[in-house]
Amino acid sequence: MEIWINPGCSKCRSALSILDAEAASYTVRRYLDDPPTESEIREVLARLGLEPWDITRTGEPVADRLGMASWPREPGDRDRWIGALAANPVLIQRPIITADDGSAVIGRTEEAVRSVTRRSGDA
């Protein structure tokens, strides 16, 4: 599995601690240093079953500068949102964990992180 993290984020550090406690095998991607491409964002959204606005940190200053609060949230607007996430990875909710079974979660809670380790253990 892979986990997209910002090392300065307490939720990311907590998720890593849980993965380590579960002896999970994972790869860390510091997504601010190694931003995902638009294609990777589309793939993660499909795995999460979410839309780009669902994983956007709209409280970030760059979201305010871009005026994202007023952006439409319709299927025809997906590309605009995905482009903004790729160009400004700080806008991406974290941590995102992609599991080997094709699933993914936003690991902001202990239960979400553990759900991935359980599935990986079953595979």
Asked if 12 is an active-site residue, the reply is: no
The Cα–Cα gap between 107 and 35 comes to 18
H or E element, residue 96:
strand 96-98
> Cα–Cα–Cα angle for 2, 8, 12, nearest 5°?
35
End-to-end CA distance of the chain: 12
Q: Find the radius of gyration of the CA atoms of the chain.
A: 14
The residue from 2, 9, 14, 108 that is catalytic is 9
Name the residues annotated as catalytic.
Answer: 9
